Structure 1
């Protein structure tokens, strides 16, 4: 159900994909060992959520400022690549899950880059 208090950035497909990715990672970290709660789990979900947060935060500003926030979103997506790799190497996710994370991050990164070029 769509809120009657709708914000323009919510129409951006890249924002929607970033929101979906954050939800995906939230489910994954639920399976990580407790010892990772304040380590990899925390870092991974903060980086994943930061992609959408930065897109939304910068969207209502000038093009130059939005571009800066999009760069931070792009940087967060790269941080997620490293976190996904760490999770796979530590045996918390399998190769296929890591590959799907990377596929989605590649798609999000391309969308962010395309949006930055349009500004």
Structure 2
């Protein structure tokens, strides 16, 4: 899953899975009511995009401590995205089945992200 040496953030499995989820979410919210364009739709899109952005930004940081910090923020964005899906369900924009589907998808990405965080924590301490 994790290669030795330098690799682009685009090669990270977690970034790829988060990207797939983000793109799937973007397609789903197109069916939400127009009045939610600058409210719930914007929040869902922004939080789902934030997952990828945080992983990519952390990847570009020098220390593993910084990489972990940004991955932890990405995990927070996953939780925020799930909360927005619960809001969408409460507003009857998605069904129980859709909520469960996206809950599962978010959990899958979170598991991979947690594995990446464990990997980063297992590396030797950074030397300043």
Give the TM-score normalised by the residue count of structure 1.
0.90
CA RMSD of aligned residues (A): 1.0
| Residues matched between the structures, number | 113
The equivalent of 1:103 in structure 2 is: 104
Whole-angstrom CA distance in 1 between matches of 2:60 and 2:42? 28
Structure 1 segment 64-83 matched on structure 2, within 5 A: 64-83=65-84
Q: CA deviation at 1:25?
A: 0.9
Question: SS state of the match for residue 92, structure 2?
Answer: coil
Whole-angstrom CA distance in 1 between matches of 2:94 and 2:22? 16
1:117 aligns with 2:118: yes
More helix by share: 1
- What stretches of structure 2 of length at least 5 have no aligned partner? 1-6, 121-128
1:26 aligns with 2:15: no
Give the TM-score normalised by the residue count of structure 2.
0.84
Whole-angstrom CA distance in 1 between matches of 2:98 and 2:17? 17
Which structure 1 residue ranges, 4+ long, deviate > 6 Å from structure 2? Answer: none
